[in-house]
Structure 1
Amino acid sequence: MSDKNHLYLVDGSAYIFRAYHRLPPLTNPQGTPVGAVYGYTTMLWKLAEDLDKAVGPTHLAVILDKASHSFRNDIYDQYKANRPPAPEDLVPQFPLIRDATRAFSLPCIEEEGLEADDIIASYARAAALQGWDVTIVSSDKDLMQLVSEGGNGTGAIDMLDTMKNQRIGREEVIEKFGVGPELVGDVLALMGDSADNIPGIFGVGPKTATKLIQEHGNLTAALDSAEAMKTSKLKERLIEHRADAEMSRILVTLKEDAPLPQPLEEFRLDGVPKEPLAAFLQDHGFTSLLRRLDAGNGSPSRSTDLNPAKQDNAGADAAPQGNRQDMPEMPAVDRDAYECVQTLDRLEHWVARALAARLVAVDTETSALDAISADLVGISLALGPNDACYIPLAHGGTDMFAEKPDQVELAAAIAALKPLLESDAVLKIGQNIKYDINVLARHGIAVAPVDDTMIISFDLDAGRSEDGIGGGHGMDELAQRHLGHSCLSFKDVCGTGKKQIPFGEVPLEKATHYAAEDADVTWRLHRLLRPRLAIEGGTRVYEQVDRPLIGVVAAMEREGIKVDRAALARLSEQFATTTARIETEIHEIAGQAFTIGSPKQLGDILFDKLGYKGGRKGKSGQYSTDQAILERLAGEGAPIANKVLEYRQLTKLKSTYTDALQDKINRDTGRVHTSYSLVGAQTGRLSSTDPNLQNIPIRTEIGREIRKAFVPEAGNVLLAADYSQIELRLAAHMADVDTLKEAFAAGEDIHSRTAREMYGEVTRDTRAQAKTINFAILYGISRWGLAGRLGVEADEAQAMIDRYFERFPGIQRYIVHTLEQVRERGYSETLFGRKTWFPRINSKNQAERQGSERAAINAPIQGTSADIIKRAMARMMPALHDAGLAPKDGSGVRMLLQVHDELVFELPEGDVAAAAPVIERVMAEAALPSVILDVPLGIEIGTGDSWDAAH
C-alpha cells in the first residue's frame, strides 16, 4: 500500500435505495423491516473486500443525507418536489442503516441542511488541498464536477462506480458530458434534471446543452449568444428561460466549503473489529453474515466468501455481472447416474421420493412439437443434481411386430404420477412447462403448482446477456450460459434428415441420457435462478403477472378457435386470381416478364431498366427492394411500386393465412390451436406462433375478410373485449400529463383533444395528424421518421414534435427521465417492476444507440400494458366461475385468444348479457391493487358470428 493518504467517501444514500429495491421484504426477530439494512450491510461488506483486493484506502467514511430539506429548497421551493416520499417500510430502516455503518466501526457523516453530495464535496476538496488522493464511491453525475487530476501539491479526485466496477476520471467525464468536470455544472444547468426537478432550459437536452457549452465556453456566454442567433425555438427558449438556467446553475453547484463535522484524521482505517459488528448481525438475525464474519477471523477480508449463491441467505451483493451467476456447489452432469424406470415398483419409489422432496423437475418426451396433437413417449423427473430418471412409456417400433422394451404400461404410469403432479404440496418445475401441462392434460393430469425456469430467466434478463447482445431463454442456451454445460441435442439422439428417427425408437440408454438430462438441468437452473428473483427485484412481476398466466395460456391453447375451411378456401382462390392479375399488370409496366418475388430481378427492373433514382446496392451487389424503398418510390409516383406492394401483401396473406390455416385445423378438434410464448417479446407481450394470429391486418379489408373465417360453434357467438388506447392512457399516467388525464377522465376522443391542443381546431386532417403523432412520439420517433409518416419535410415534422412537447411537457420530461435512468441502470421498468435491459443504450454506434433509445422510451408503457392484460387474463376465469359462467359440459364462457390489447371469447348467445359486465370489470380493474392509475382503463366490447363482426 502506498504511503500517501487515500480517502474514500462512500455515497451511502445511493447504497440505501439500491439495497431496498433489490431485496425482498425481510424482518428481524423484533418484526422490524430490515431488507434494505441487510442489502446495505452486504454491499458495504463487499466494498470492503473489493478495496482490500486492490490498493485500499487509508481513510474511509460513509456519507448520508440527514433530511429531505436542504438550503436548495430555500432557493427553489420546487426542488425535488416531484420525488415521492420514502416507502413506509423503508423509513424505520434509516436509523438501522446508520447503526450498520457504525457496526463496521466506520464514520457515518450527515449534516442538517446539507445534502450528502455537499458533504462529500467539502471533504473531497479539503483532503485534496492537503495532498490526499480522494475516491468518491458513487455514480452520481452531479459529483462528477469534483473530478480532478490534481497537481501542484493537491491530490487527485476520481470516482468509483461499483455497479459497473469502473473508475471515473477526467477522460470518462469528458466522454459522458463532452466537457471537462469544471464545466459539467454548466451543462447540467442547461439540460436540467427531471429527477431533482431542476428546470434547466425547457426543450434543451444533453446534446444541445453540451454543444452550447463547447461552442461558447461557459453558461453565461451560451446564454448571451442567444440574441445573435437566427430565429429558432432554441433562441426563444434561451432568452425566455434564462433565469431558470441561472437558478439551475446555483442548484447544481456543490457546496465545497462547509464546516467538516469530523476531522479527516478520524477517518483512518484500522481494520474492522469483530465487535460491535457481530452484535449487530446477531441482533437482526443476519446469521449467514455472522458465519462469514466468524470464517473471516473477525473482519471482512479477501478470504471471506462473499458468493451469496453459497450462503443460506442470499445478500444484495448478488447482482449479476452480465447475467452469469456463480454456481452453487453442484457436481458436474453425469448422464450415467440417471435411472431408466421400467417397472411400476421403481416408478412408485420415485413418486414417493418426489412427494417427500416437495420439489421436482418434470419434462415430457413426445412424438411431435405440437402439444395438442403429440403422443406422450416418456416422462423424466429430477430431484437434484444427477438425481434424475426417465420413464419410457411408448418406446419401440411402430410396426406391430417390432420388439418393444420393458416399460411401464401407460395407464398405470399416469395413475401413479397423477397424485404427484397434481399435489398442492409439491412444486413442479419445468422449462417451458406450459408444453408439458398441455401434453399431460390430454391424459387427465392437471399439473399444478408450477415454476418455469424459462420465464424466470426472462423476468430477470430480458434483453441482457454477457456479450451485451441479448440472449435466448431456451434450456440449451441457459445451460451453456449459467452452468457452462452443453446439453445433448435432439439430433444427437435422433439424427437428422432422412436418417432421423422418432424419439420413441431411440434406444433406452441413449433416451435416458437425453431426457433425464433435461430434467436435471432444469432442476439446476431453478436452484440458480429462483433466488435471483428476490435479490434483483423480479419477484413482483413473476409472481403477480407471469407465473399465474402459465396455466391460463395453456388452457387457451387447448381451447383453440374454429375456422371456416370453406371460407378460407374461397379466399385463397380469390387471392390467387387477384395476384395473377396484378402480376400481369406489373409485367406490362416493366415491359417484360420477370420473377416479382426475386429481389435481384425486381431491383434490376426498378433501377436499371425503369431508371428510378435512389437505388442502393448491398454487399451482395444487388439493389435493396424492401418495404421502405417501395413505399418511397410509391410516394414519388411510381405505379409499379404500388403494384408490387399489393402483390407482396396478397401473396403473404395467402401463404401465411388462407392456405396455412387450412393445414393447421386439428383433425380431432376441428379447431386451430395457436401456441403462445410468454418470452417471445422483450417488453413482456405474448407472441403467437404456429399459426401466428397476431399479425392479421386489422384495418384493411383483406384482413377483415380473413377474420370473418374465425367463427364460433353452432349456438355460440364470439365476444371481443379490447382495451381502448391503453398505451396513451398509461402515457398520461406515467408522464403525469394533466391535459390528457382530464380528457380520458371526461371520456373525450383523445386524438381530437390532441388536435385541438396542437392546431387550435379539430378537422379530419388535424385529427389524423394528431393520432399519428400521439403514437409516434411514444415510440421515440425521429423527425425523419415522423416526416415519412405524415408526408412532410423534416423541419416541419420537427416543428410538430416541438409543438407537441410544448402542449404536453410531461411527455418530454418522461422521455428524458426514462432515457437518463436506462443509461444509468441499463434497463427500463414497468409499473409492475418488469425490467427490460438495453445493453446497447450507450453504444458508440449511432444506429445501435438510437435504436435502443427508441425502444427504451416505449418499453415501460408497452410493458405495463402487457402486464395489465396478463393480470386480466389470470383473473378472468375465476371471476367468470364466481358468476356461474365457467365452461361446463361444452357450454359456458371460454377465453380463446389474446391479440395485442384484445381478448376473444366464445360463449352461448344467451350468456352475453351476464358475461360482458364481468369481463369489462376484470379488465378495467386489472392493475389493482398493485398499481392505482390516474386514468380509467376503457374497454370496448363487441359480439358477433365471426371475429370480424365481434371486433
Structure 2
Amino acid sequence: MAFGKGHHLHLIDGSAFIFRAYHALPPLTRKSDGLPVGAVAGFCNLLWGELTAARAQAATHIAVIFDAGSKTFRNEIYDQYKANRPPLPEDLRPQFPLTRDATRAFNVACLEIDGFEADDIIATFARQAKEAGGTVTIFSSDKDLMQLIGDGVDMHDPMKNKRLGREEVLEKFGVGPERVVDVQSLAGDSVDNVPGAPGIGLKTAALLINEYGDLDTLLARAGEIKQPKRREALVDNADLIRISRDLVRLRDDVPVGVTLESFELQPPQGEAVMAFLKQMEFATLMKRVGEKLGVAAPALEAGKGYEVAGAHEVAEVTQAPIDPGSYVCVRDMATLQGFIDQARQRGWLAVDTETTSLDEMRAEIVGISLAVEPGVAAYVPLLHRTGTDDLLGQVTLVPGQMDRDAVLAALKPVLEDPSVLKIGQNMKYDAKIFARLGVQVAPIDDTMLMSYAMHAGLHNHGMDELSQTYLGHTPIPIKELIGSGKSAVTFDRVDIDKATRYAAEDADVTLRLWQMFKPKLHQAKVTTVYETLERPLVPVLAEMEMAGIEVDRQVLSRMSGAFAQKMAQLEEEIQTLAGEKFNVGSPKQLGEILFDKMSLPGGEKGKNGAYSTGADILEDLATEHELPGRVLDWRQLSKLKSTYTDALQDHINPETGRVHTSYSISGAVTGRLASTDPNLQNIPVRSEEGRRIREAFVAPKGKVLVSLDYSQIELRILAHVADIPALQQSFRDGIDIHAMTASEMFNVPLSEMTSDIRRKAKAINFGVIYGISGFGLARNLRIPRGEAQGFIDRYFERFPGIKEYMAATVKFAQERGYVQTLFGRKIHTPEINARGPGAGFAKRAAINAPIQGTAADIIRRAMIRMPQAIAGLPAKMLLQVHDELLFEVEEAAADTLISRAKEVMEGAAHPAVAIKVPLVVEAGKGANWAEAH
C-alpha cells in the first residue's frame, strides 16, 4: 500500500542511540571472546523500547537512520567541519556494524548513505512523508533536527521522554523552527566546528533574527547596527556566516534509493532476533524478548559465565510502569497509616523529603514522599505556601495539608524501627532533616552508595542519571517545578498536585533502583565494600556535619585585610618586574606582558584571541623568570581571600554560630570524601598564609581542638603494594623517609643531609604516587625540566619495584577495566585503553587509584569505629581532611581522646589487611586548628 494520508512514520536517529548507549552504560564484553558489546546491548534495549512505543502510538512505518562515515559534502564546503571531534573510542568502533545487524534482526529497516549525514536522510524522508500526506515523529535529541519541526513533523527526545514541538524550539533557540538555521548560522557550533560570527551566541543571534526577520536581510543591513562589535562581527564575517548556513542547513533532497513503503512496520521474527541475541550472549534480553514474542529463548553454553542485563543493559521494568499520575497525595491520617502498615508488612520503606533549601541545617521540610512497592507511592504535603503575600507581607499555607508534628509523630516509630529498612537516594541529607525534627532514621540503605560501590568511575550516581541508565526512565526535572536562575522559587511555592507527581516519583524510582541494585552488589563482589565502607559511614558523617565547627569571624576579617595588603604589595612588585602598570587580575593584559613585551616562550592564543595564562603555563614560566611566580603567589592570595577569609563568614550558621560543611561519600572515584558548602579540604597547608586560615577555626571556652593525622600514609601503602624492602624497613625503623630517599638517590649520608635535598626528595616521593612527569616536577620545584626528569629517572633506578608495580597495575586495568584497593573497592578505568591525549592521564589515574583509594578506605574504617571508641568522652569528631581527623573535646579529656583515637586509626586496616609497615598517627591539640595540627 502506498504511503499517504493516515500513515505515521517514526524515524530513529540510530547514531544518537548508539552514542547514548555507549556513554551512559558501563563497559560490557562478550564473555566468549572479549568483544566489546556494551553499546550494542544498550542499543538493543532502546530499539526494543521504541518498537513497543511505536505500536502503542499507532505508527505504521519505521526506520533507523545511521551516519555512514565522518566525511560528507560539508567537508568540501568547509574543510574544518567537525575537525575538533575526538577520534572514536577503540572499543566502540567494532560495535557500529553490530548495531546495523541488530536493527535488521529486529525486522526494522535501516539506511545509511555515503557523503551524507543521518540528519540529511531524515530530513529527506520527513519531506517525502509530509508531501504524501502522512505525519512524522523523529526520535532524537539532536538540536540540528529541530529545524524540521512543523506541520506534520514533531520530535521525541528519548533522553527526556519528552515531545518536542514549536514551543520547545522557541524556548531553546528564541525563534521558530523556520529560523533555526539562521540562528545557528550566526551562533556557530563549537562541537561541529561551525564558525558562525565571533562573539555572537544563541541569545544575541535570536535577538538579531527577530529584529531583522531573516539572515539575508540582517547581513544586507548589518552596517546599520549601532553596537560596534556586533556590526564588525557581521560585516567582517559575512562570507563565513553564509558558509555556516550551508553547514547547518539540512539537505532534504538526498538520493535515498528506497521508498517510504519499504519502511512498513513489521513484527519481529522470533528466530532471527533470538539468533542475534544468542550470538551477542544477551541472556536477559533474550528472556524478555522471548516472553513478549511467545518464543523460547535458546540456551547459552553452560559454564561460560555470560554477562546478563542488570547493570549493563537498560532494564525493562517488569513491575508496574512508572506513572506519576497514579501517585497518592496523602491528606488524612488514615491514608498515611495505610502506607505505614504496608511498610511494616514488607519490612522496607522508600522515603524522601522535599525542603526549601539544599542546606540541611537551615532547610524547612515541605513534604515527605513514601513508596512501599513499585508504582505504589505517595506524597505528604506539609508546608506548601500560597504564591502571594498578604498586605502585611505574610504568606499562608495552602489548604488541605497535614499537620507537620502529627505526621512526624505517626512516622517516627516506623522510621526508627530497626526491623523496617529505610531506603533512600543520598540518605544522609534526609537523615539530617529528620534528625533536626527529633527523628533518628535507621537502619538505612542508600541507592546512590550502592551504585558508587559497583560503578565508581563509570558514571555519576545522581538519581536522574541512575533512572535513565538502569530503568530507561527520565524523571520529572526539578526545573519544571521551581524554574531556574534568579526567577527560581523554593519548593514550598510549588503546586501540590505537581509536587505529588515529582516527589512520589523520586521515592518510586529509588525503590525500583534498590530492588535492582541489592542483588547486584553480590554479583559484582562489592557487598563487603558497601556494607563496611559506605553504608555505616552515613550516620557518622551526618553527626559530624550537624556538629559543625566554630569559626572566629573577627580573625577572618583581620586576615582578609592582611591578604589585601599583601596582594597590593605583590601587585607593585609584579608591575615593577613588568616595567609598567597593568591589571594583574586580567589574563589578557598579563599575557601581553609575558609573551609580547617580555617574549617569554610558550605563548598560545585561544579562540578569544588572548594568550592562555593558566596555572600550568605560569608554573612552567616560573622556572624561567621571577614574574610568573609572583603572579602565582598573588593568585593564591586572591583565592584564599575570596574563597575562605571572605566567604567563610557567610557560611556561619546564624542559629549555631558554627560552620557546617557537607561531605559527599560518592564524590571521588577513589573513595576520598569531598567537602562542599564550604569546602574545608582544599585549604592550602604548604603556604604560610594557607596555614594561617586554620587559626580562625577555634574551640569554645574550656575545650580544645585535637588533630590526628596519618603520617605519610600513601607512601607507606606504596611501600607495601609495590613491595619495596628499603622503604618498608625505613618505615619500621622510624627513619625520616624523605631524608632516606634523598640519601639513597643522591648518595648523601643522612648526617650531611640538607633541607634543600630533602625537599626535592619529598616532592619526588609524593609525585611518584601521582605519576608525576618531569614537567610536573619542574613546576613543583621551579627547576629546569631536564634536572627534574633526571631526578625521576634516578628514583626508578634506585627503587625498580615501583616501576614494576606501575606496569602491573596498568596491565590489570587494561585487562579488567578496573583497579582495586586492598579492601576490595573497585575503581573503574573506562579510558585505560583509549588512545590520544587522555591515555597518559588514564594510566596515571589507574596507578594512583589503588594507593589513594586504600588510604581513603583506611580512614573510613577508622571513622566508622570512632563513635564507639570515644563514647563516654566529652568529645565530638568534627572534620575529616584527607588523612586527618579533627575533634573538639573538653581540655581535661584531650589526652584520653588522643590515646583512644590513635589506637583506632593506627589499627584501622586490621584484621582485613595486614600491611607490612606500621601506620603512624601524629597528634596535636590547641585552642585553634593551626595550633592543633
Interval containing the TM-score (normalised by the shorter chain): 0.5 to 0.7
Question: Is 2:755 the partner of 1:774?
Answer: no
List structure 1 segments (4+ residues) > 6 angstroms apart after TM superposition.
Answer: 42-47, 164-167, 305-308, 319-322
Does 2:859 match 1:869?
yes
The equivalent of 1:224 in structure 2 is none
What letter corresponds to residue 412 of structure 1 in structure 2? A
Matches within 5 A, 1:530-609: 530-609=518-597
* CA deviation string 1:29-57 (max 9, x = no partner): xxxxxxxxxxxxx979999xx9xx9xxxx
DSSP-derived class of the 2:870 partner: helix
Letter in 1 for 2:927: D
1:828-886 CA distance string (max 9 Å, x none): 110111111111111121x21100011111100000000000010000011111xx32x
Find out whether 1:895 has 2:877 as its counterpart. yes
CA 1:823/1:360 → structure 2, altered by over 3 Å: closer, same or farther? same
Q: Do residues 449 (structure 1) and 446 (structure 2) align? A: no
- Pair 1:682 & 2:682 matched: no
Change (3 A) 1:535 1:746: same
TM-score, normalised with respect to structure 2: 0.66
Preserved contact between residue 721 and residue 904 of structure 1 (Cα < 8 Å): yes
SS at match of 2:915: coil
Q: Secondary structure at the match of 1:903?
A: strand
Equivalent residue, structure 2, for 1:855: 845
Matches for 1:725-744 after TM superposition, within 5 Å: 725-744=712-731
3-state SS of paired residue (1:688): strand
Q: Which of 810, 813, 825 in structure 1 is aligned with 2:804?
A: 813
1:856–1:336 CA distance, 2 compared to 1 (3 A): same
1:305/1:376 CA distance change after superposition, 3 Å: farther
Corresponding residue for residue 227 of structure 1: none
Paired with 1:696 and 1:46, the residues of 2 have a C-alpha distance of: 45
Letter in 1 for 2:315: D
Mapped partners of 1:645, 1:580: distance in 2 = 14
Change over 3 Å in CA distance of 1:794–1:522 after alignment to 2: same
1:574 Cα offset (Å): 1.7
Cα distance between partner residues in 1 of 2:820 and 2:367? 40
How high is the TM-score relative to the length of structure 1? 0.65
Structure 1 spans left out of the alignment, 5+ residues: 1-41, 54-160, 168-287, 309-313, 465-470, 886-891
Match for 2:417: what amino acid? S
Q: Which residue pairs with 1:342 in the alignment?
A: 331
Q: Is structure 2 residue 886 aligned with structure 1 residue 904?
A: yes
The residue type equivalent to 1:949 in the other structure is E
Say which SS state the counterpart of residue 920 (structure 1) adopts.
Answer: helix
Report whether the alignment pairs 1:435 with 2:424. Answer: no
Answering whether residue 345 of structure 2 is matched by residue 356 of structure 1, we say yes
Please give the secondary structure, in 1, of the residue aligned with 2:315.
coil
Q: Pick from 813, 818, 821 the counterpart of residue 827 of structure 1.
A: 818
Question: Partner of 1:933 in structure 2?
Answer: 915
Instruction: Work out whether residues 315 and 535 of structure 1, in 8 Å CA contact, stay in contact via their aligned partners in 2.
Output: no
Q: CA deviation at 1:503?
A: 1.1
The structure 1 residue matched to 2:399, chosen from 396, 401, 405, is 405
C-alpha spacing 1:836/1:319, structure 2 compared with 1 (3 Å): farther
The aligned residue for residue 478 of structure 1 is 466
Q: Find the aligned partners of 1:480 and 1:665 in 2 and give their Cα distance.
A: 37
2:654 paired with 1:667: yes
Q: Distance in 2 between matches of 1:750 and 1:502?
A: 54
Partner Cα distance (1:754, 1:591) in 2? 43
Q: Which residue of 1 aligns with 2:777?
A: 786
Task: Tell me if the contact between 1:307 and 1:326 (Cα under 8 Å) persists in the aligned partners.
Answer: no
- Aligned equivalents of 1:594, 1:499: Cα separation in 2: 38
CA RMSD of aligned residues (A): 3.2
Amino acid at match of 2:408: I
Whole-angstrom CA distance in 1 between matches of 2:332 and 2:441: 23
Does structure 1 retain, via aligned residues, the 8 Å contact 2:819–2:826? Answer: yes
Per the TM alignment, residue 367 of structure 1 is displaced from its structure 2 partner at its CA by 0.7
Residue of 620, 623, 627 corresponding to 2:611: 623
Q: C-alpha displacement at 1:787, in angstroms? A: 4.1
Q: Which amino acid aligns with 1:358?
A: G
Structure 2 portions without partners, runs of 5+:
1-29, 42-90, 98-282
The match for 1:30 is: none
Deviation at 1:643, TM superposition (A): 3.0
Greater mean alpha carbon deviation, residues 571-580 or residues 789-798: 789-798
Cα deviation, residue 501, structure 1: 2.6
Distance 2:415 2:461 in 1: 24
Further displaced range: 751-760 or 319-328: 319-328
- 1:521 aligns with 509
Alpha-carbon distance, 1:393 to partner: 1.0
Contact preservation (8 Å) 1:710, 1:947:
yes
Which residues of 2 match residues 135-146 of structure 1 at below 5 A? none
- Alignment CA distance shift 1:496-1:46 (3 Å): closer
2-side partners of 1:363 and 1:662: how far apart?
31
Give the alignment of 1:311-322 within 5 angstroms: 317-318=306-307
Contact 2:339 2:372 in 1 (8 A): no
1:394 aligned to 373, 378, 383, which one? 383
Note the alpha carbon deviations across 1:726-768, whole angstroms, 9 max, x for none. 0011111111111111111111111122222222223123322
Change (3 A) 1:731 1:598: same
Q: Deviations over 1:453-508 (max 9, x none)?
A: 111111111111xxxxxx22111111112222111122201223454332112111
SS in 1 for 2:437: coil
Deviates most, 581-590 or 657-666 = 581-590
Q: Paired residue for 1:838?
A: 829
Which residue identity lines up with residue 342 of structure 1 in the other structure? R
- 1:71-128 Cα offsets, whole Å, 9 max, x none, are xxxxxxxxxxxxxxxxxxxxxxxxxxxxxxxxxxxxxxxxxxxxxxxxxxxxxxxxxx
1:306-345 CA-to-partner distances (Å, cap 9, x unmatched) read 899xxxxx99544679844534513331011100001112
The equivalent residue for 1:152 is none
CA distance in 1, matches of 2:316, 2:31: 20
Shift of 1:587: 4.0
Deviation, structure 1 residue 612: 2.7
Distance 1:367 1:637 in 2: 52
What is the correspondence of 1:180-579 to structure 2 with a 5 Å cutoff? 303-304=297-298, 317-318=306-307, 323-397=312-386, 400=394, 402=396, 404-464=398-458, 471-579=459-567
Q: How many residues align?
A: 652
Q: For 2:401, give the aligned amino acid.
A: Q
Contact 1:752 1:770 in 2 (8 A): yes
Instruction: Decide which moves more: 360-369 or 575-584.
Output: 575-584
1:735/1:810 contact within 8 Å kept: yes
Q: Which amino acid aligns with 1:947?
A: W
1:61-210 aligned at under 5 Å gives the runs: none
Partner of 2:236: none
SS in 1 for 2:622: helix
CA distance in 1, matches of 2:578, 2:763: 34
> Cα distance 1:44–1:591, how it changes in 2: closer, same or farther (>3 A)?
closer
Whether the 8 Å CA contact 1:828–1:859 is kept in 2: the answer is: yes
| Aligned twin of 1:139 | none
1:656 aligns with 2:643: yes
Secondary structure (helix, strand or coil) at the match of 2:822 reads: coil
Matched residue of 1:635: which SS? coil
- CA–CA distance in structure 1, aligned partners of residues 304 and 663 of structure 2: 35
**Separation in 2, partners of 1:735, 1:166:** 40
1:922 equivalent to 2:916? Answer: no
Of 677, 690, 695, which aligns to 1:703?
Answer: 690
User: Per the alignment, do residues 320 and 406 of structure 1 end up closer, same or farther by CA in structure 2, a change over 3 Å counting?
Assistant: same
Question: Aligned-pair distance for 1:407?
Answer: 1.6
Are the structure 2 counterparts of residues 775 and 499 from structure 1 closer, same or farther at C-alpha, using a change threshold of 3 Å? closer
Query: Does the 8 Å CA contact 1:575/1:654 hold for their aligned counterparts?
Result: yes
